[in-house]
């Protein structure tokens, strides 16, 4: 492999193809190949993935696969699964795939029997969630737990809340979960003000147990609990109502949570990849350990596909390469995630962290600046809500926005004809985006020549359609693993480290430095830039300080 993939002949070939691609239209690609739809459809586990409505020719696909070879994608996949320290800036293995290995698998990394440790924690989580679900685990006053409140942010929040919402059809009717993430006090207030402390269990979820938002929320939640339980409530009550999920036992006990009530994970699990670890405890309590195990098994089937399939039939690799094609070679800036499932209403938000914290990088592994466009902006809303909000811009705007349509043949709740109507929108949209409406069609419908141009849809907007029979825990695991490996593929081609997040770390440090200037009436707000100084002064005066 050449030192920089972007200097390779394979890269140049794709640049050349991109330059002449403006003339290619999906109408022609489908017109000249009646079997394109079937030919460019692949299966990964329970997911049928139709990528035929993407702006690619066979020539481009071949060139993308050659680029993947040049970038050593196969070898990088092997290195990740084997536990090599591919997160070079933190000198860590990247082993979220080990979180879903079956009990009888073998993986020893850095002298650690990874599978045994993973299953030891899963077993403890299972036993604990059984107790909470059955009512055997009681609070300080002897009452059973009715509400589980997860306190965490980023990967310690987005995965659990997304999966909890996605799997609502599988949850216990006796337990509700809530999620506090923002340090905005209104989040804490809204999620607790109508709860009974006696029946509330908090999970303080933080890989580092050093995150300002989470520790502040957890401290205030403990105050709320003790005040609500009244006289006599102290450390014993905290032990009944607070458990922790973290990699840092010292900080957990420093906070006052008994480490007997701590569920651990490891530094080789990145926050945004941590849902299948103990970070998923709230989800396990809601849906039960069996459904959680189904979700892990779903992840694992896609992991195995990614690890073993040749690249030409490797679905995450192909979709990752398509994303590189759009982003780096065709200049697309964003990527829409459009699930036709209300249960997946937090899926795009979840993927934002997964993809943008992973691939929002401009420096390559060797420290040199990337001389090309990397990570896209991921965004989206469930259909059909999105249709009545932003689809107009996708259909007739000036930007290229590749979009993933995710749908299910069977709804979790079937009511009348609703699901068929819902899915008719799903199928109609990808067709309209691809093939549009020509001026001749518009005029033939009787539209006046003055208005006709406004009603023309150029089409040629790329989409990928992902369908499964229904949204089950296993299918959810498959979907998440699919996007994890798409993200990995992109990072590999770009030769960036998809597993650190130094940019976010800077913001955390600066917020901690600024905090005293907001709260103290004596400290002058003068040593920042003129804009920040003025804004802090305004804030302080409005707060009466
Ligand atoms: O789980 P922790 O350590 O509280 O971190 C929360 C989040 O903060 C980040 O470090 C930055 O947003 C994420 O990567 C992580 O998921």
Q: Using alpha carbons, select from 194, 199, 197, 225 the residue that is nearest to residue 143.
A: 199
Among 357, 182, 206, 217, which Cα is nearest to 274's? 206
386: Cβ below 6 Å to ligand 1? no
Catalytic residue among 388, 399, 410, 413: 388
Could you report the predicted ipTM of this complex, rounded to two decimals?
A: 0.98
Ligand 1: distance of its center to the CA of 155 in Å?
6
Atom of ligand 1 nearest to the CA of 274: 16
Q: Is 388 a catalytic residue?
A: yes
- The alpha carbons of the chain give a radius of gyration, in whole angstroms, of 25
Ligand 1 centroid to Cα of residue 271, in Å, is 6
Q: What is the DSSP string of 104-135?
A: T---EETTEEHHHHHHHHHHHHHHHHHHHHHT
State if residue 208 touches ligand 1 by the CB under 6 angstroms criterion. Answer: yes
Q: Is the CB of 497 under 6 A from ligand 1?
A: no
Q: Is the pLDDT of residue 268 over 60?
A: yes
From 399, 410, 413, 508, active-site residue: 508
Which residue carries 């997911």 as its tokens? 47
Q: How far is the CA of 314 from the centre of ligand 1 (A)?
A: 30
pLDDT value at 1 more than 90:
no
Q: Model confidence over 204-228: pLDDT tens digits?
A: 999 999 999 999 999 999 999 999 9
Distance CA 232, CA 479 (A): 48
CA of 263 from ligand 1 middle (Å) equals 17
pTM for this structure? 0.96
Which residues make Cβ contacts (< 8 Å) with residue 357, sequence separation at least 6?
154, 272, 501, 504
Is 211 touching ligand 1 by the criterion CB < 6 Å? yes
Enter the tokens of residue 461: 């907007």
3 state SS of 151: strand
> 364 or 512: which carries more pLDDT confidence?
364
User: Under the phi-then-psi rule, with left for phi > 0, alpha for psi from -120 to 50, and beta for the rest, what region is 135?
Assistant: left
Probe residue for ligand 1, chosen from 96, 155, 251, 497 as the CB with the greatest number of ligand atoms within 8 Å? 155
Tell me, what's the pLDDT at 267?
95
**CB distance 501 to ligand 1 below 6 Å:** yes
- The whole-number pLDDT of residue 545 equals 87
Percent of the chain with pLDDT over 70: 99
pLDDT given for residue 509 in this prediction: 84
Evaluate: CB of 214 within 6 angstroms of ligand 1: yes
pLDDT at 441 over 90: yes
CB count within 10 Å of CB 111 equals 5
- C-alpha 534 – ligand 1 centre gap (Å): 30
The CA 158 to ligand 1 mean position distance, Å, reads 10
Burial class of residue 270 in the structure, from the number of CB atoms within 10 Å of its CB (0-12 exposed, 13-18 middle, 19+ buried): buried
Closest Cα to atom 9, ligand 1: which residue? 154
- 357 an active-site residue? yes
Catalytic residue, chosen from 213, 357, 376, 484, is: 357
Give the per-residue pLDDT at 398: 95
* pLDDT tens digits, one per residue of 38-86: 999 999 999 999 999 999 999 999 999 999 999 999 999 999 999 999 9
- The answer, yes or no, to whether residue 532 has pLDDT greater than 70, is yes
pLDDT at position 23? 85
Active site residue 461: no
Atom of ligand 1 nearest to the CA of 213: 4
* pLDDT per position as a tens digit, 318-348: 999 999 999 999 999 999 999 999 999 999 9
Position in ligand 1 atom list of the atom nearest CA 156: 1
Distance from Cα 153 to the centre of ligand 1, integer Å = 6
Nearest Cα residue to atom 7 of ligand 1: 154
* 273 has pLDDT over 70: yes
Q: What is the mean pLDDT of residues 352-366?
A: 98
Verify whether ligand 1 is closer than 6 Å to residue 156 (CB atom): yes
CB 277 near ligand 1, within 6 Å = no
> How far apart are alpha carbons 42 and 65 in whole angstroms?
16
Residue 403 has pLDDT above 50, yes or no: yes
Mean pLDDT of the chain: 96
The number of residues making up the chain comes to: 545
Nearest atom, ligand 1, residue 153 CA: 6
Among the atoms of ligand 1, which is closest to the Cα of residue 271? 16
CA of residue 39 to ligand 1 center, whole Å:
41
Q: Whose CA is nearest to atom 16 of ligand 1?
A: 155
| Position 365 pLDDT exceeds 50 | yes
Residue 2: pLDDT above 90? no
Q: Indicate whether residue 358 lines ligand 1 (CB < 6 A).
A: no
Average pLDDT over residues 457-466: 97
Is residue 313's pLDDT more than 70? yes
pLDDT of residue 506: 85
What does DSSP say about strands 334-339 and 403-408: parallel, antiparallel, or unpaired? parallel
Mean pLDDT in residue range 504-531: 82
């Amino acid at each position: 492999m050449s030192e920089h993939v972007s200097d390779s002949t394979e890269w140049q070939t794709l640049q050349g193809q991109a330059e002449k691609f403006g003339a290619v239209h999906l109408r022609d690609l489908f017109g000249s190949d009646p079997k394109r739809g079937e030919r460019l459809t692949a299966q990964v586990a329970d997911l049928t993935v139709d990528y035929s409505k993407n702006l690619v020719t066979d020539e481009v696909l071949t060139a993308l696969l050659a680029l993947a070879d040049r970038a050593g994608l196969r070898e990088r996949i092997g290195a990740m699964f084997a536990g090599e320290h591919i997160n070079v800036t933190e000198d860590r293995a990247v082993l979220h795939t080990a979180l879903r290995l079956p009990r009888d698998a073998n993986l020893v990394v850095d002298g650690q029997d990874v599978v045994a440790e993973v299953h030891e924690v899963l077993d403890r989580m299972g036993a604990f969630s059984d107790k909470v679900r059955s009512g055997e685990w009681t609070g300080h006053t002897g009452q059973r737990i009715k509400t589980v409140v997860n306190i965490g942010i980023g990967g310690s929040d987005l995965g659990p809340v997304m999966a909890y919402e996605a799997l609502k059809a599988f949850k216990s009717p006796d337990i509700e979960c809530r999620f506090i993430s923002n340090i905005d006090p209104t989040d804490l207030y809204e999620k607790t003000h109508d709860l009974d402390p006696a029946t509330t269990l908090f999970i303080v979820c933080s890989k580092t147990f050093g995150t300002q938002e989470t520790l502040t929320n957890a401290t205030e939640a403990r105050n709320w609990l003790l005040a609500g339980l009244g006289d006599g409530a102290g450390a014993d009550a905290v032990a009944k109502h607070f458990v922790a999920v973290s990699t840092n036992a010292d900080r957990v006990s420093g906070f006052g949570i008994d480490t007997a009530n701590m569920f651990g994970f490891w530094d080789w699990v990145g926050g945004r990849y941590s849902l299948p670890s103990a970070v998923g405890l709230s989800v396990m309590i809601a849906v039960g350990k069996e459904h959680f195990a189904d979700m892990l098994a779903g992840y694992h089937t896609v992991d195995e596909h990614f690890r073993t399939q040749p690249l030409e039939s490797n679905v995450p690799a192909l979709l990752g390469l398509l994303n590189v094609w759009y982003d780096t070679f065709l200049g697309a800036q964003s990527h829409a995630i459009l699930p036709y499932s209300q249960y997946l209403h937090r899926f795009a938000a979840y993927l934002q962290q997964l993809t943008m914290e992973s691939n929002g990088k401009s420096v390559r592994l060797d420290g040199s600046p990337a001389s090309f466009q990397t990570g896209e902006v991921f965004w989206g809303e469930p259909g059909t809500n999105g249709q009545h909000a932003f689809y107009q811009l996708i259909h007739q705007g000036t930007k290229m926005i590749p979009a993933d349509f995710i749908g299910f043949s069977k709804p979790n709740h079937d009511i009348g004809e609703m699901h068929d109507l819902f899915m008719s929108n799903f199928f109609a949209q990808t067709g309209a985006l691809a093939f549009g409406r020509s001026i001749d069609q518009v005029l033939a419908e009787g539209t006046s020549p003055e208005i006709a141009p406004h009603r023309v849809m150029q089409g040629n907007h790329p989409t990928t359609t992902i369908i499964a029979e229904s949204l089950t825990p296993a299918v959810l695991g498959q979907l998440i693993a699919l996007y994890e490996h798409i993200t990995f593929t992109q990072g590999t081609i770009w030769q960036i480290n998809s597993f650190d997040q130094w940019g976010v770390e800077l913001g955390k440090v600066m917020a901690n430095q600024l905090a005293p200037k907001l709260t103290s009436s004596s400290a002058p707000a003068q040593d920042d830039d003129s804009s920040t100084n003025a804004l802090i002064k305004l804030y302080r005066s409005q707060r009466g300080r």
